Amino acid sequence: MEHILLATYQRDITRHYALAQAYGTGLELQVYGYDTNLLDSGWRDLLAQHKALLRDWEGGLAIHGAFYNLSPASPDERIVTLSRERYMLNLDIAAELGARTVVFHTDFLPIVRNPDYRPSWTERQVEFWTPMAEEAARRGVVIALENMWEPDSSIIGDVLDRVNSPHLGACLDVGHVYLFSDYVPLDAWVERISRWIVHCHLNNHRGFYDEHLPLDFPGGVIDYKKDVLPLLYALSRQPAFVLEMDEIEYLERSLRYLGRSPL
């Protein structure tokens, strides 16, 4: 049976905690990435609240790291330094919570058409994530690089191949593939990075923007039963399935779609 996590970007996670307990799933706490100023002020108090609530937690746990305006492959070293500081704090928070996975973005910009961009971007990514993977190993966590605007999976795949660490994997965001992929079908994405996929963000949308709708949403462009789930179930190592939609009713609906019922 697939390992399911429920994502939430709320500070107050009590409703999602209760739903996860009811269905026997895990949680992905996204507030430590989505709340842009939290890592400067307030994170310690919030972390204490989450630790108290999750004190006897037995489900899986992940966090989503900071990503707004960060650029680990920036040619500006001060931007890289800030990105590293944010990410290191996320790793520390994950370790203190007992989370297994931390999701980060690479900030690849496909709009840049300069032929030198991708090779230099890849070099800087490898330089950045190699020591970060070592830091993750020290904390007993795994970093999962999520595709956002990447038009094909080899962009992240090339970085993962070169770093080649069990503590640096891929977070396959299915909705992003259907929005931003450059005519590369999902099966080609999965085939290219199959050995690295440890985490999957699952939701639906109508093909225009990242709506985070339930998996079976009428009018959604993604057919999970036909096109997605068979690919993921066929992987030799089953990744975590993260239902990335914050509405409680969307989560419950998607859990039922995946054949889950309350314990």
Q: What is the pLDDT of residues 179-217, one digit of tens each?
A: 999 789 999 999 999 999 999 999 999 999 999 999 999
What integer pLDDT is reported at residue 50 of this predicted model? Answer: 98
Cα first-last separation, the chain: 14
Decide if 143 is inside a domain.
yes
Model-level pTM greater than 0.95?
Answer: yes
pLDDT of 246: 83
Is the pLDDT confidence value at 109 over 80?
yes
Return the amino acid letter for 177.
V
Question: From CA 36, how far away is CA 30, in angstroms rounded?
Answer: 11
Domain CATH code at residue 146:
3.20.20.150
Model confidence pLDDT, tens digit, residues 24-83: 999 999 999 999 999 999 999 999 999 999 999 999 999 999 999 999 999 999 999 999
- What's residue 55's pLDDT? 94
Whole-number pLDDT of residue 2: 79
Alpha-carbon span 93 to 77, nearest angstrom:
24
In a domain, 250, yes or no: yes
pLDDT at 1: 65
76, part of any domain: yes
Domain range for 190 is: 4-257
Q: Is the pLDDT of residue 90 over 70?
A: yes
For residue 159, is pLDDT > 90?
Answer: yes
| 74 found inside a domain | yes
- Decide if 263 is inside a domain: no
d(CA 203, CA 245): 7
Output the pLDDT for position 182.
Answer: 78
| Residue 143: band (very low, low, confident or very high) from pLDDT cuts 50, 70, 90 | very high
User: Which amino acid appears at position 10 of this protein?
Assistant: Q
Instruction: Give how many domains the chain has, as a whole number.
Output: 1
Is 262 within a domain?
A: no
156 part of a folded domain: yes
Residues 167-190 have a mean pLDDT of 95
Question: Is 179 inside a domain boundary?
Answer: yes
CA 145 to chain centre: 7
